[in-house]
Structure 1
Amino acid sequence: MQLLVTVAPGSRSAGSADGAEYALGEWDAHALEAAVGLRATRDDIEVVTATVGPPAAEPVVRAALARGADRAVRVWDDRVDGTALLDARVTARLLAAVAADVDPTLVLAGAQSGPDGFAATGVALAARLEYGWATVVTDLSLDREAGVVSVRCDRGGNRTELVDVDLPAVLTVGAGCNEPRPASLGAVRAAQRADVAVRSLADIGTEPDAVEGALTPVDTADRDRSVTLFEGTPAETAADVAAVLRAHGVEP
């Protein structure tokens, strides 16, 4: 049985020589811990981690290996490198190509990837794969014989929801799911020597135009600070918000 854990390239900050420092995100660490925990219950489970990120993100990939992933795939390409912003749908498209090769029964992703994350890659990947899905999972139990994964989802305001999701499935994992264990020194050293499969767009059978997203980064310092208050019934306000979004070029 294959478990696929998607790992974001990581948070970037001014901390390294090239101005960018990559680190395994908090939510991704919880997703990885959940996968490793499931593997501990069966001896026929392999945990594969996949990320879409540049060479500078290699420490994130190796951190995932040190924390228990069996093997890792990193997708990158000159065409990806020239893209200003990868939106969730583009990332999901690339990860889906990796999933087609791995053929996972269960995909785990962090509920959010970090400061620049959209908290949407997991569900976009589920739609792409046509898998069942659940979000912000804080507890899970896998029943392979029944073909379901039972999950508890955080719905905010101290509310939770219990859901059975048919396999194969994609779950986005919340911070309350577990307590990620630190990697041992031996595991870190082994991860530094491990092979990481680097795949280009051609390697995963994806056309170059697959990385062309609909989002353009903007300078938030120059954003419009005006506020519009929508009033009325939920249906009326939803229609008003949809009209404003369409006026700004946003389509469902």
Structure 2
Amino acid sequence: MGDTSEDVGVAARFTVHAFTDVGLRRRRNEDAVLVGGWSCQTHDGSLVTMSFMPAPPFVCAVADGMGGHAGGDIASRVALNVISANHREWRSDEDVSDALLDVNDQVRGVGVETDLLGLGTTVAGLCFLADAVVAFNVGDSRIYTVVDGHAVQLSVDDSVFDTNGRPTNIVTQSLGQQTPVRPHLVRLPLRDARYLLCSDGVSGFMTDDELREAVGSDDVGDWCTRIIDTVRANGAEDNFTFVIVDVAPEQSS
């Protein structure tokens, strides 16, 4: 894991539930999920649960290769592979932001090398540092913190909005674009918390009331079941992916 001598003061125990699925209409899964050094882009989703106490920095993320763009599955996979390879060097908000600029360049470079014009992906993730959490996103994949049964959105939707103020599936920036991206970052203290990361295959196929009902239970396993069942009941016309992170900090000696 390398030298963690500067990461002192607070340790945290994580329970993470991860799921990605092609959905009911798509032929391939352009979503991908990352938990630490583990990534997944399976076609038929199965729920994976992990519990551990990693040394910081520790990253969880979801990426959504943009539907209708060539090589969306490649773009999401490349983005998360680059993050996985480099996140151990992250120590600050600036490190996260600079890394996403580099990911943008690398995804674009793969598109040029493979003649896949329009290669692009969203990303939404959490970087857990020694005493803080940095939430980051580019595109319309989302990050929520769940407080008292209510899902509060931390991320910013890089979307074109309809006349009712709802985000459409048209994104205004993504990783892989020619111009530099402007990542959205939010810094939070490291504390007892529950977070939900998801692609728009989840957020776009659940109403606010359905999401509130899904995360209203004290049992996070029940959240997973409700999200999967609701998205499928509502058609699951897109790939859908989520990560639920349950954080329990412990004061280290």
Q: TM-score higher than 0.5 here?
A: no
Q: Which has the higher contact order (CA 8 A, sep 6+)?
A: 2
Higher share in strand: 2
Higher share in helix: 1
Larger radius of gyration: 1
TM range (shorter): under 0.3
